[in-house]
Structures are given as structure tokens and as C-alpha cells.
Amino acid sequence: MCGRCTLAPGVDDGAHEPVKQRIGGAGRGFASVLSGTVIAQLIAFAVLPVISRLYDPDAFGAFSFVLAVTAVIAPVATLRLETAAMLPRRASAVRAVVMNCLICIAASTVLTAVVVELLQLWGLTALQDIPFASLWIAVLVLFTALYSLLSQLALRRKLYGSVARRNVYQAASAGASQLALALVTRQGTGLIAGQALGRVAGLIPLWLQTRDDFRMVDRRVRRVAWRTYWRFPAVFTPSALLNAIGAQAPLLFVTMWFGLEAGGQIGMAERIVGIPLALIGAAAAQVIEAEVSQKVRDGSGGLRPTYLRVSGLLAVVGLVVGVGFGVLGGWVIPMILGADWAVAGIAVQILALNSAVRLVGSPLSKFILIYQRSLANTVLDVLRVALMGAAFTVTAVINLDLTTSLWWIYTALAITYVVTWCYGLLLAASGDTNR
């Protein structure tokens, strides 16, 4: 096995506690997580035509902007220690990583509230249009970071059923809350508050299943955990920040450049396009991470065939999704969501190519994290941000309209997923060679 892929166990507490094998095999794990994700997405899609008529594009723009900011901050809030928690063999080392992660989440939540409040005072337009933006973003960062940590701990134990139920609880609670809150307010805060309540509903069952990992450990063990997994906060956190900025930059830029209404249209389009990505891509990524992490720990090999097999399956799905969005998006979306969302239908057509490529490249990028290829990960993220920056610059200098700017932005984003897939294939092949 490659020396750089060694997974240090941390401090030995004298009792080896193996990860429980609740569901065997990647196929069964994928099916379990996918079933929960399918139900969750069906719930979200079922309420979407109602929500789109209760909340206008401006309200959805505020909601989408807050979620995008949260998605940028949340990976930094954990310092990527939730991913590190997948790797130790011993329970004491896992608990040490978890304690370190919780400390980081608490500090990041407070810091987020302070920074966002200062940005509001300094006149950032998009935030000024959202009441109590600092509070909402801080709360969502807290819940999202905890959600990520608990999900990883459940996946480590191969509790795929719990992860599947998490998705259903969150979708049902968020949708019901957003519909109910529309009776109180039709502003973006109703959507934001409903999302926060949905996160809480997803957190509770995960915590009940993984609370043993939250036991206190000696400070010395936590220090060893910091030294063992230093790459995650020192290298992968900046990389995760770049990755999140690259992924969320289109929505953030559109909202700040074209306004909340345009941001709402793009946010709705990304949500629709994100349905197959969540159904297939996210479920595949979670199972790939759990199964490949175990292959790396055991040194069992077979990574390149697995990579190609999964790529082929995802490519077929991606082709169907891309063609469907490209052909049908322009007239089906306004029919489902209402006449106010015609621009979202056009945006879905523009996003078709990117969604197909992303469906293949994004889940398989987990290989880079598992093998701790920090430099390559950073280079890929810098490439993504650079291409996004180039697209934004073209939009601003030439003063492009919304539709043309979206073509530039999402084509640039698709290129980064192609490059990521190619590197992942080389990494899987080298992992088998160096076994």
C-alpha cells in the first residue's frame, strides 16, 4: 500500500473496537442510501410547485443566497475533521477527532455571526435585503456542520439505513415547515427557517445512533489526533473552501450582480437540476467514501475496476439527465412552477451539460480526499475558482445579459469536473499499483 495512504490509528486505548458491519457491500449500501434519498427528493419535488406559488423569486433569491453562503462556510467550520473521523481504527481516536471537530464548529458558528453582521454594516447589498441574515446564516452553519459530522459517523459504522432515514426526515420536516410558515410570512425568512427545522429533524436520529462517539477523551489523545490528521485542517480545509466557493460562486455572483430575483431564478434552476445529483451523485459519493476507505484500510485493492465500473453507470445516468434537461427544461419548468419561473426553465437548459458531467465527476472526487492528495486537490480547486473568475470577468467587462453569462459560467464549471475525473482515474490506478 502507498506510504502516503497510511491511515494512522491514533492512540491505543487497549481495546480494538472494529467498525460495525451493519450492511455488507457497496451495492446494498448504495441501494439503502439511494432509497432514502429518492423518497426525500420526491417529497421536495412534490412541495416545490406549491412553494413556488407561495414565495416569489425575490424570496427564493434570499433563501438561495443564504444557503449558498452557508455551503461555503460549513466545510470550513468542521476543518474537514468529519472526513478524518472515517479513518481511525480505534474508538478512542475517533472520539478525539469528534471532540476536536465540535470545538471547531462552536468557534466557527460564533465567528460566522460576527463576520456576517460586520458585512451587513459595511453595506453588502444582498445581505442587507435579508432580515437577521447573520443569525440565520450562523444557525444554518451550526446545523449543517453537525449534520455533516453525524452523517460521516453513521457511514463509518455502515448505518446506511439511518442515513437514508435522515434524508426523509429532513425533507419532510423542511417542506412542511416552509409551507406552514408561508401563513406567517411570504419572505425568504420563511424558507430559511423551514430549512433550519428540517436540519434539526435530520440530526436527531443520527445522534441517537452515533452518540457513543461523543464520549469525552483525554486531552493528550486529542493532541495526538491533531498531529495525526493535520492535513485535514491545514491542507484540505483551504481546499474545501476553494471547492465550495467554486461550486457556489455562480449563484453568489448572479445574486450580487443581477439582483435577488435573478438569484431566485438560478437558485430554483439549480435546485431542480440538483434533484438527480442528490438522487444518484450524493448517494454514490457517500457509499464510495465508506467502501473505498475500508479498501484503503484493508489494502484489498481493486480500485481501478471499481472506478471505471461506477463511472460507466454514472455516465449513462448523466447522459439521460443532460438530454432531458436540455430538451424539456424550457417549457416543462414554467408549467410546473408557474409563469413567474420562465427564466428558471431557460437556466435549466443551460445547466444541462454541467449537470451531466458533474453527475460523473463529483462522486468520484472522493478518491482524492481518501488518498489525501492535498496538492492535486488544491490545484483542481484553484482551477475551478480561476475559471469561474474568468467567466465573471467576461460578464462584467462585456456587460453580458443573464442568459449569456450563465453559458460562460456553467461551461467553465463543467470543464473542472472533466479534469477531476481524469485525475481520479490515475489515482485509482496508482493505488492498485502501489498496493
pLDDT tens digit string along 253-290? 999 999 999 999 999 999 898 887 776 776 677 667 66
Residue 59 neighbours by CB under 8 Å, 6+ apart? 186, 187, 188, 190, 191, 264
> pLDDT-derived band of residue 251, with 50, 70 and 90 as boundaries?
very high
C-alpha span between 166 and 154 (Å, rounded): 10
Q: Is the pLDDT of residue 300 over 70?
A: no
Residue 23 predicted with pLDDT over 50: no
Confidence bin at 26 (pLDDT 50/70/90):
low
17 membership: H or E segment, kind and range: none
Greater pLDDT, 414 or 297: 414
Beta carbons of 289 and 370 less than 8 angstroms apart: yes
Q: Which three cell numbers stand for residue 397?
A: 467587462
Q: Which of 86-90, 286-290, 344-348, 368-372 has the highest mean pLDDT?
A: 344-348
pLDDT at 367 exceeding the cut of 60:
yes
Q: Does 403 or 35 have the greater pLDDT score?
A: 403
What is the model's pLDDT at position 11?
Answer: 40
- The answer to whether residues 143 and 200 touch, using CB atoms and an 8 Å cutoff, is yes
pLDDT at residue 52 above 60?
Answer: yes
Percent of the chain with pLDDT over 70: 86
Output the pLDDT for position 125: 65
**Amino acid 1: pLDDT:** 40
Q: Of 371, 318, 325, give the one whose Cα is nearest residue 346.
A: 325
Q: What is the pLDDT of residue 16?
A: 38
pLDDT, residue 10, reads 40
CA 236, CA 225: separation in Å to the nearest integer? 16
* pLDDT greater at residue 359 or residue 14: 359
CA distances 369 to 25, 93, 251, 296, 329, Å, are: 21, 19, 25, 12, 34
